[in-house]
């Protein structure tokens, strides 16, 4: 179903059924659907905060988050026009834009949301300290349909390892199921990514505590020699309970993507609203501190992948020429 976002915003809107009261005056509103992922993961956490901040900042638009199976479902839903916006992890976005395993998508980037340093978490009292230690062990690689297993596949492939052959790979129905599986020993490790990722926070806050396993400096070099699109990233100290030192890893940036035919005026207004409340969003959610115009320009694989309406706004504020 095509959502009401084909109608333009505010004064240029064709009359919409919804209205908001501002200063005693009713103004036309429109609703934009936002695909996230399964409950308990980073995308619903971010998506709900994104909608809350954006809806408060612009009463002429309502962003409605919707749980999905994650990146691999969000991309075709955007292509079919069944979502207006969706969160998509860096690796599925990279493959979709490059046409790996399919034709290239014609979707556009609204914003980069946050970086995704990938790593494993194990119980603090476990014997596992390196990626090699986890070979042959049961490992939860994230929710089916999410981008996390794809990131893991690239990282492990760079080390000459196969996710489904060298590990007892487990794919979750719900992202939130992983931490309990680490805690009770059903899996040796949980793979995840990002700063403030809920799965890592849950294990680190548990009675057993957490140890994080990321590629070593040598392993990062080997991985990037094969998959150069992955970038060195750092998890700052204090990102998780009892994490006293920064953790070096690698990964990519996740995005809010839009359907191909999202009108330029809509994308422009969304970008103007979002980047006008960067400070508020950062206070609402730590991960959102990375959601900036400058990071979007730096993270986009190619400038032309950024929505034209967003680029118009970026030119106005001097982020791009």
pLDDT value at position 9?
A: 41
Average pLDDT value over all residues in the chain: 91
The verdict on 268 and 290 lying in the same domain is yes
The verdict on 83 and 159 lying in the same domain is no
The verdict on 179 and 288 lying in the same domain is no
pLDDT value at position 295?
A: 96
The verdict on 259 and 238 lying in the same domain is no
Residue written as token pair 């005693």: 24
The verdict on 131 and 204 lying in the same domain is yes
pLDDT value at position 196?
A: 87
pLDDT value at position 188?
A: 98
The whole-number average pLDDT for the span 48-73 is 96
211 or 19, which is more confident: 211
The verdict on 102 and 171 lying in the same domain is no
The verdict on 127 and 92 lying in the same domain is no
The verdict on 103 and 121 lying in the same domain is no
Which contiguous run of DSSP H or E holds residue 31? strand 30-35
User: Domain boundary at 201, 236, 252, which?
Assistant: 252
The whole-number average pLDDT for the span 115-140 is 97
pLDDT value at position 118?
A: 97
Rounded to whole angstroms, the Cα distance separating 229 from 251 reads 8
19-22 and 25-28: which strand pairing? Answer: antiparallel
pLDDT tier at 20 (50, 70, 90 boundaries)?
very low
Task: Report the predicted TM-score, pTM, of the whole model to 2 decimal places.
Answer: 0.81
Q: Give me the phi and psi of 44, to 5 degrees please.
A: -60, -35
DSSP lists the bridge partners of residue 139 as 169, 189
Q: Is 129's pLDDT higher than 70?
A: yes
Which pLDDT tens digit goes with each residue over 183-213? Answer: 999 999 999 998 889 999 999 999 999 999 9
pLDDT value at position 189?
A: 98
User: Domain boundary at 218, 234, 252, which?
Assistant: 252
How many Å from the N-terminal Cα to the C-terminal Cα in the chain? 37
User: Domain boundary at 235, 252, 269, which?
Assistant: 252
Which pLDDT tens digit goes with each residue over 210-249? Answer: 999 999 999 999 999 999 999 999 999 999 999 999 999 9
The verdict on 44 and 87 lying in the same domain is yes
pLDDT tier at 146 (50, 70, 90 boundaries)?
confident
Which pLDDT tens digit goes with each residue over 77-98? Answer: 999 999 999 999 999 999 999 9
Q: What is the CATH number of the domain that holds 237?
A: 3.40.190.10
Query: Percent of the chain at pLDDT above 90?
Result: 84
35, 86 contact by CB (below 8 A)? yes
The verdict on 13 and 62 lying in the same domain is yes
Rounded to whole angstroms, the Cα distance separating 72 from 115 reads 18
pLDDT value at position 40?
A: 87
Range of the domain at 237: 116-252
DSSP 69-96: S-HHHHHHHHHTTS-SEEEE-HHHHHHH
Rounded to whole angstroms, the Cα distance separating 268 from 273 reads 9
- The lowest-confidence range among 11-20, 49-58, 229-238, 302-311 is 11-20
Rounded to whole angstroms, the Cα distance separating 193 from 115 reads 8
The verdict on 203 and 147 lying in the same domain is yes
Highest mean pLDDT among 133-137, 140-144, 147-151: 133-137
The verdict on 199 and 51 lying in the same domain is no
Rounded to whole angstroms, the Cα distance separating 215 from 57 reads 40
pLDDT value at position 175?
A: 87
Please, what sign has the CA dihedral across residues 87, 65, 31, 320? negative
Q: Is 68's pLDDT higher than 70?
A: yes
Please state the domain count of the chain. 2
């Amino acid at each position: 179903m095509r959502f009401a976002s084909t109608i333009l915003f505010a004064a240029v809107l064709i009359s919409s059924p919804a209205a908001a009261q501002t200063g005693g005056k009713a103004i036309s509103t429109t609703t934009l659907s936002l695909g996230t992922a399964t409950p308990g993961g980073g995308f619903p956490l971010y998506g709900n905060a994104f909608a809350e901040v954006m809806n408060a900042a612009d009463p002429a638009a309502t962003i409605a988050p919707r749980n999905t199976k994650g990146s691999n479902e969000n991309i075709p839903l955007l292509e079919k026009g069944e979502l207006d916006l969706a969160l998509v992890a860096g690796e599925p976005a990279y493959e979709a834009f490059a046409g790996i395993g399919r034709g290239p998508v014609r979707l556009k980037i609204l914003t980069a949301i946050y970086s995704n340093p990938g790593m494993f978490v194990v119980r603090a009292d476990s014997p596992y300290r390196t990626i090699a230690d986890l070979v042959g062990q049961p490992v939860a690689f994230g929710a089916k349909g999410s981008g996390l297993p794809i990131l893991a596949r690239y990282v492990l492939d760079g080390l000459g390892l196969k996710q489904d052959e060298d590990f007892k790979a487990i794919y979750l129905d719900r992202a939130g199921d992983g931490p309990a599986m680490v805690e009770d020993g059903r899996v040796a490790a949980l793979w995840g990514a990002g700063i403030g990722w809920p799965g890592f926070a849950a294990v680190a806050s548990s009675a057993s505590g957490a140890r994080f396993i990321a590629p070593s400096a040598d392993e990062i070099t080997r991985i990037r020699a094969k998959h150069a699109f992955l970038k060195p990233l750092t998890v700052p100290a204090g990102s998780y309970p009892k994490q006293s030192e920064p953790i070096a890893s690698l990964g990519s940036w996740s995005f809010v993507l839009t359907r191909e035919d999202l009108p330029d005026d809509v994308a422009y207004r969304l970008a103007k609203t979002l980047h006008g409340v960067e400070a508020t969003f950062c206070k609402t959610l730590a991960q959102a501190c990375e959601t900036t115009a400058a990071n979007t320009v730096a993270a986009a694989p190619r400038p032309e992948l950024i929505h034209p309406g967003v680029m118009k706004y970026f030119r106005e504020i001097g982020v791009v020429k």
